[in-house]
């Protein structure tokens, strides 16, 4: 069994996991993602904050390397660290936890509230106050403070969060911030030196070095029941509190965002490639959410064992299970049963890898898709488009046979097509839809958004209430 990675989070993971489990019961609608957790703020950091200067709106650039430091000591790592450190920030969050307790003496319930503090890392993406960090670093925060290398601090507001990619964009009211040079992850070389900078265990401004160990890593997460793909692997030490900090190359350019570690291993850390982050960050800045394109096909992971089972030659790839009519995939000539083995010359070995390879595509961008069709290898080109406004409702109807309506603030099943999957499982008009893909919904708009957001999933999962019971129903996107 593969070890399970966790985010670079808390100091005492087992106890924190138990606390989060209690919070999920206390806060019925809270969804806690634990690939790992944030680190609790240390007394040292609290003392540093207390002595920090007020925010003047302008950050001082770092002083030059002292003249007393000889050239032999000014190694590439020293120069890079000196130049990029002013752009790295500590992220401190405060969350208010409310628990409902029962008074055993008076027999009445009462509300108990308490505050928790956590810390993580981030870096200045743009000098006009834009900071990038991990989504899990600020999850559930009521206040967020960015603490800069010179000791000043600013309250940060959230511009947008994308839990699927574990990225968040913050803004501080400041100008002329020293920003981190943004590089590319398209030409990474195995073995090249890398530098991780962040706030592990509340120790601000910590620098660790290593090499780029691998690219394209798939990282399974039991807590989210999914696999993250295309991660950068490094042996530079990434510890609790490093989440959201930059991974830079020896030229001082950001190539990744530090995100996760293997809990039971040493020096196996993972970072989100910066090229994948670029579109997500720009979308969050512009729209407050990620604008994903519409391709119009469903896929499933094909392994050599599964290929042999269905009578195909042993291979790996993303098996096309469904092609929606008039979609970009349909127009490109992709058919159910095709196996996608490469996208823009990058090998594809799973459904998640295919989803990741198209996640940063923009509407109108031409994508080369190499497929195996029976005994032939064919290269096709598809052009993604912006999702239609009612795409989620169309997909729900096409896949399950359900129509929906709103009534008195409730989302109801309006009609069920005869012979559809919904009819087969016994759904009927008047049933109440309370959730989709693990997210609570109570309107047609919310349902449409969530189904559209999960359009590349292998299934749609509905939570349907009837009487006193709630049923979880799964509708595969394949034919």
Note the residue count of the chain.
Answer: 479
Tell me which residue of 252, 244, 241 sits closest to 209, measured CA to CA.
252
Residue 384 near residue 355 (C-beta atoms within 8 A): no
CATH topology of domain 297-382: Pdz3 Domain (2.30.42)
- DSSP code per residue over 407-438: ETTEEEEEEE-TTSHHHHTT--TTPEEEEETT
- Residue partners of 49: CB distance under 8 A and separation at least 6: 92, 145, 147, 153
User: Residue 226: what pLDDT?
Assistant: 56
User: What is the pTM assigned to this prediction?
Assistant: 0.69
Q: Report which listed range, 78-87, 157-166, 259-268, is most confident.
A: 78-87
Higher pLDDT, 98 or 340: 340
Catalytic annotation, residues? 136, 166, 243
Across-strand partners of 233?
214, 270
Quick one: tokens of 325?
């009519």
Q: What fold characterizes domain 1-58+74-291?
A: Thrombin, subunit H (2.40.10)
Opening angle at CA 101, ends 95 and 107, nearest 5 = 160
Question: Of the ranges 201-205, 247-251, 255-259, which one carries the lowest mean pLDDT score?
Answer: 201-205
Residues 194 and 211: beta-carbon distance below 8 Å: yes
User: pLDDT tens digits for 376-418?
Assistant: 999 999 999 999 899 999 999 999 999 999 998 899 999 999 9
The percentage of residues in the chain with a pLDDT greater than 70, rounded to a whole number, is 81
Q: For residue 275, is pLDDT > 70?
A: yes
**First vs last C-alpha separation in the chain:** 32
Give the Cβ contact number of residue 378 at 10 Å: 13
pLDDT band at 67 (very low <50, low <70, confident <90, very high): confident
Which residue shows structure tokens 């912006």? 386
Per-residue pLDDT reduced to its tens digit, 416-434: 999 999 999 999 999 999 9
In the chain, where the domains are located: 1-58+74-291, 297-382, 391-476
Q: Cα 253 to the chain's mean position, in Å?
A: 22
Look at residue 41 and tell me whether its pLDDT is greater than 50.
no
Phi, psi of 331 (to 5 degrees): -65, -30
What pLDDT does residue 102 have? 54
Spatial CB neighbours of 374, under 8 Å, sequence gap ≥ 6: none
Highest mean pLDDT among 255-269, 325-339, 340-354: 325-339
CA distance 419 to 181: 57
| Model confidence pLDDT, tens digit, residues 184-222 | 998 899 999 999 999 888 788 899 999 999 988 877 765
Q: Which of 84-88, 301-305, 361-365 holds the top average pLDDT?
A: 84-88
Over 80: is that where the pLDDT of 43 sits? no
Task: Please report how the helices 391-400 and 444-453 are oriented relative to each other, as an axis angle in degrees rounded to 10.
Answer: 80
d(CA 262, CA 276): 22
Q: Cβ(330)–Cβ(296) under 8 Å?
A: yes
Determine the pLDDT at residue 66.
Answer: 87
Q: For residues 419 and 43, give the distance between their C-alpha atoms in angstroms, rounded to a whole number.
A: 63
Comparing 16-30, 110-124, 170-184, 438-452, which segment has the lowest mean pLDDT? 16-30
DSSP E strands in 148-240: the ranges are 153-162, 167-172, 193-198, 206-221, 226-234
Per-residue pLDDT tens over the stretch 145-166: 999 988 898 999 999 998 888 8
How far out from the chain centre does Cα 413 lie? 31
Residue 106: CB atoms within 10 Å: 8
Higher-confidence residue of 24 and 90: namely 90
> CA 49, CA 1: separation in Å to the nearest integer?
43
Higher pLDDT, 17 or 93: 93
pLDDT of residue 196: 95
**Domain 391-476: which CATH number of 2.30.42.10, 3.40.640.10, 1.10.3720.10, 3.40.50.80:** 2.30.42.10
Confidence bin at 129 (pLDDT 50/70/90): very high
Q: What value does the mean pLDDT take over residues 276-293?
A: 89
Equal fold, 1-58+74-291 vs 391-476: no
Residue 267's pLDDT band (cuts 50, 70, 90): confident
The overall longest dimension of the chain from CA atoms, in Å, is: 83
Q: Is the pLDDT of residue 69 over 50?
A: yes
């Amino acid at each position: 069994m593969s070890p399970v990675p966790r985010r670079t989070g808390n100091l005492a993971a087992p106890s924190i996991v138990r606390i989060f489990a209690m919070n999920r019961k206390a806060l019925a609608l809270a969804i806690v993602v634990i690939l790992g957790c944030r680190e609790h703020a240390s007394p040292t950091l609290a003392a540093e904050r207390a002595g920090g200067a007020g925010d003047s709106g302008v950050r001082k650039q770092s002083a030059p390397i002292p003249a007393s430091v000889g050239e032999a000591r000014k190694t590439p790592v020293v120069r890079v660290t000196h130049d990029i450190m002013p752009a790295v920030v500590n992220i401190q969050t405060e969350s208010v936890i409310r628990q409902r307790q029962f008074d055993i003496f008076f027999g009445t319930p009462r509300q108990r509230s308490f505050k928790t503090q956590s810390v993580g890392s981030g870096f200045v993406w743009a000098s006009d106050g834009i900071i990038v960090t991990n989504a899990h670093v600020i999850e559930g925060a009521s206040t967020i403070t960015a603490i800069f290398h010179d000791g000043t601090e600013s309250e940060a507001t959230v511009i947008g969060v994308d839990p699927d990619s574990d990225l968040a964009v913050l803004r501080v009211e400041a100008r002329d911030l020293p920003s981190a040079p943004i590089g590319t992850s398209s030409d990474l070389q195995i073995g090249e030196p890398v530098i991780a900078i962040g706030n592990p265990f509340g120790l601000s401004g910590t620098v660790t070095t290593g090499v780029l160990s691998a690219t394209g890593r798939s990282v399974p997460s039991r807590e989210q029941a999914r696999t993250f793909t295309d991660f950068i692997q490094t042996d530079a030490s990434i510890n609790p509190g490093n989440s959201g900090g930059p991974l830079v190359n020896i030229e001082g350019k950001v190539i990744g965002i530090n995100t996760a570690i293997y809990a039971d291993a040493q020096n196996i850390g993972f970072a989100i490639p910066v090229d994948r982050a670029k579109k997500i960050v720009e979308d969050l800045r512009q729209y407050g959410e990620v604008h994903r394109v519409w391709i119009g096909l469903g896929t499933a992971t094909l392994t050599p064992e599964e290929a042999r089972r269905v009578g195909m030659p042993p291979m790996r790839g993303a098996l096309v299970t469904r092609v929606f009519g008039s979609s970009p995939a349909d127009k490109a000539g992709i058919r159910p049963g095709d196996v996608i083995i490469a996208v823009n010359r990058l090998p594809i070995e799973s459904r998640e890898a295919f989803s990741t390879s198209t996640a940063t595509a923009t509407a109108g961008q031409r994508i080369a898709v190499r497929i195996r069709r029976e005994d032939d290898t064919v290269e096709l080109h598809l052009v993604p488009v912006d999702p239609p406004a009612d795409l989620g409702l169309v997909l729900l109807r096409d896949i399950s046979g359900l129509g929906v309506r709103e009534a008195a603030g409730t989302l109801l099943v309006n009609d069920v097509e005869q012979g559809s999957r919904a009819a087969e499982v016994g759904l009927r008009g008047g049933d109440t839809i309370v959730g989709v893909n693990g997210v609570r919904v109570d309107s047609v708009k919310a349902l449409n958004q969530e189904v559209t957001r999960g359009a590349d999933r292998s299934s749609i999962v509905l939570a349907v209430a009837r009487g006193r019971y709630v049923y979880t129903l799964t509708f595969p996107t394949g034919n």
